[in-house]
A and B are shown apart, each in its own frame.
Chain A
Amino acid sequence: MKKEFKIISKIIQNNKRVLDVGCGDGTLMEYLKKNQKNDVRGLEPNKNLVQKCIAKGLSVIEGDAEKELIQFPEKSFDYVVLSQTLQAFLYPEKVLNQLLRIGKQTIISIPNFGYWKIRLHLLFKGTMPITKNIPYDWYNTPNLHMCTIQDFVNFCNNKNIKIDKSICLTNEKISEITNKNMSYKNIFSQLGVFLIQ
């Protein structure tokens, strides 16, 4: 299981209800169900991946988060997880509001567009950055709304969204983001994981 999922599963307490939005092939769900006795549900737009999840005995609904989240009642999950997908929505803010409505807490991860390699790519090559984590060309990328760790934190502050935990990941190394180290982490982290409510 990838490091990011380890960070997320560590945040999630045992026996809690979890909704994994964009759950993919259900790797995280399966881990949470087996190892932490979490009651997990998933939402995934890709039919083939949904079928894979169902085969594993995971309850996953085929559907698009921008349309489907509205059906879940308020605070019906202890945690709602959204892994590296926020930037791919047409209206990320609306999706985020739904996540906050459904979950008592929301765990969200974002690929950091402020990572130094991305900055240098744009600065020196003058073309849209392509990295290991963001491997797309500008014309075929699903990522419509890239942001930096700083952008996301600013957004949360502006919208009065409480950040309970911020963790970053750089070359498989995990560390905390604090007010003090923010500018540094915004340059040297590839991924930010936030627990918000």
Chain B
Amino acid sequence: MNNDTKDIKKLIIKQTLKLDCGKTIKDFSLAYETYGTLNEKKNNAVLAFHALTGDQFITNINPITKREGWWTFAVGPGKAIDTNKYFVICANVLGGCMGTFGPKEINPETSKIFGTDFPVITIKDIVAAQKFLLDHLGIKKLLAVVGGSMGGMQVLQFVSLYPDMACSAIPIACSASHSAQNIALNELGRQAIMADPNWKKENVTPDKGLAVARMAAHITYLSKKGLQEKFGRKLQDKGSLKFSFDADFQIESYLRYQGSAFVDRFDANSYLYITRAMDYFDLENQFNGNLSNAFKNTKSKFCVISFSSDWLYPTSENKEIVIALNACGANVGFVEINSDKGHDSFLLNVPEFLKTLSEFLNSTYNEINNEKRI
């Protein structure tokens, strides 16, 4: 990747953060963006967490990649997470590669990039780092924490760490602990990167390995039906099969494109570290084998959302969260949205989903404002 992240907005965190692995970090950067305006009461802030390959540029054109932000469908003026109304905060995760402290930064001790000398981080570390940002912005209470996939894991971790800091919590298409299948798929990606001869070498990057990792992962974000409908057995060039290993089929060509476009914007070591953080995520284990304990003191109102065709974080795993919340009497709503678009549904234009998101946030916003009037 060749992203120059020098000029993007960063907070240098002076405090010490003790990581789960035992190491401590300080004076580290956290790159972030905000959208909309924080109101006088400071009660309209929404903290959005990005997924594995996302970044802080949640909407509008990403100034580094020149592409649309990853959640443009959901965030913006007049959209579900309405930036005319809410103050949206999004930070690049610890271990990321869009300006936040991560493996592509220079290690001051060796004056070389960290690479695999970077400490192993967890979802808890990722969330704790973002708490510093909230302190810096002077936000004591959030209207909502929201995120899909790994973003949803951060939502769950956030409410368990800070039970009275969010009026509402919206974990989308996620899980409270990574399943064997999730870990297996992440390991596949990591092995693809590590098998690239350029991995761990100076001045070159394991582009082939990272591209293969992305291709494999991309399949898991879609549904069989969605793939079949979009690509079927359609050929890339109109003619017939070429009897070679070129990309005969459109789906092959599509995946190759996804892989090569990804290496331009993402760091292979970040991919290793962030997938590791996801694999290590086990909220149930953090709370002595009882997930309900994670939410025991929560004051947040929850809206858990899953998608019917998501086989990566299926409805059943989202429901485990709902069950744990119910078991401790938390305030929770849950809906499974019908969609053929697989796990990626949360990033796409799925009207029923965006409507639910918009209306839930809106009702929370109205509720807290009405309460104050009384």
Contact = CB atoms under 8 A, between A and B. Distances in A.
Interface of A: 39, 41, 47, 50-51, 53-63, 71-73, 76
What's the interface size class on B, roughly?
A: 20 to 34
B317 to A, nearest CB: 15
Interface string B324-360: 0011010111111110000000000000100110011
Given A51-B355, A71-B323, A73-B329, A57 B363 contact: yes
A54 B302 CA distance: 10
User: Of A56, A59, A72, which is in contact with the most chain B CB atoms at under 10 Å from its CB?
Assistant: A59
A39 B329 CA distance: 11
Interface string B251-278: 0000000000000000000000000000
B339 to A, nearest CB: 11
A31 to B, nearest CB: 16
10 closest cross-chain pairs (CB), A and B: A57-B363, A55-B359, A59-B333, A71-B323, A61-B334, A50-B335, A62-B335, A59-B331, A60-B333, A71-B326
Nearest to B333: A59
Nearest to B301: A59
A59 B298 CA distance: 15
Nearest to A57: B363
B363 A51 contact: no
A47 B338 contact: yes
A57 B366 contact: yes
B263 to A, nearest CB: 39
B367 interface: yes
B322 interface: yes
B121 interface: no
Contacts of A54: 303, 333, 335, 356, 359-360, 363
Contacts of A59: 301-302, 331-333
Contacts of B355: 51, 55
Nearest to B324: A71
B327 A53 contact: no
B72 interface: no
Contact of B336 (A39, A41, A62): A62
A57 B352 contact: no
Nearest to B357: A54
Contacts of B323: 71
User: Of A50, A53, A62, which is in contact with the most chain B CB atoms at under 10 Å from its CB?
Assistant: A62
B326 A56 contact: no
Interface string B138-182: 000000000000000000000000000000000000000000000
B69 to A, nearest CB: 25
Contact of A71 (B327, B338, B359): B327
A60 B363 CA distance: 13
Interface of B is mostly: helix
B366 to A, nearest CB: 7
Nearest to B337: A47
A106 to B, nearest CB: 18
B176 to A, nearest CB: 14
Contacts of B336: 47, 62
B297 interface: no
Contacts of A71: 322-323, 326-327
User: Of A41, A51, A60, A72, which is in contact with the most chain B CB atoms at under 10 Å from its CB?
Assistant: A51
B34 interface: no
Given A56-B363, A60-B333, A73 B338 contact: no
B60 interface: no
B310 to A, nearest CB: 15
A73 B329 CA distance: 8
B250 interface: no
A63 B331 CA distance: 16
Contact of A51 (B327, B335, B362, B366): B335
B364 interface: yes
A62 B364 contact: no
Contacts of A56: 363
B82 to A, nearest CB: 15
A73 B366 CA distance: 30
B334 A62 contact: yes
User: Of B329, B336, B352, which is in contact with the most chain A CB atoms at under 10 Å from its CB?
Assistant: B329
Nearest to A58: B333
A63 B332 CA distance: 13
Nearest to A44: B335
Nearest to A51: B356
Given A51-B352, A54-B303, A71-B323, 16 more contacts: A39-B331, A41-B331, A47-B335, A47-B337, A50-B335, A51-B355, A54-B335, A54-B360, A55-B360, A57-B360, A57-B366, A59-B302, A59-B331, A72-B327, A73-B327, A76-B329
Contacts of A57: 360, 363-364, 366-367
A61 B352 CA distance: 16
A53 B333 contact: yes
A108 B365 CA distance: 34
A55 B363 contact: yes
A39 B323 CA distance: 18
B35 to A, nearest CB: 24
Contacts of B362: 55
A167 B45 CA distance: 48
